[in-house]
Amino acid sequence: MLPLAAFAVVFLVANRQSVALSFNPFSDQSGFLTSPALPLWLWLMVMLFIGFGLGIFGMWSSAKPSRQKLRDLKLEVKQLNKQLALREENPSSSEHLPVLKSE
């Protein structure tokens, strides 16, 4: 990690000139959709953090079905444990033991 950190510091120091980003593809002179001039390293770090945040959000949202299934399974286990506890309290009951649902 130390060589990577050293490379990052050297890269950021080498790119310290100020740049203004323009999001207008039709005119470079227009001030519309143009950012203030900031050091290039700052823009690079901002874009890195935005990409990191979007990656986290994408992973979190793609795992939604798994989280929902896990919640459902936890609820089912809790219900089965309650049924089993009732069965152990009343061993003379004629009910059958709970059975897991297969999907």
Q: Which residue ranges in the chain fall short of pLDDT 70?
A: 28, 30, 92-99, 103
Q: What pLDDT is stored for residue 19 in this prediction?
A: 86
Q: Cα–Cα distance between 61 and 83 in angstroms, integer?
A: 34
Q: Cα–Cα distance between 37 and 40 in angstroms, integer?
A: 9
Q: What is the DSSP letter of 28?
A: S
The model carries a pTM of: 0.57
What type of residue is 49? Answer: F
What type of residue is 3? Answer: P
Instruction: Tokens for 9, please give them.
Output: 């510091």
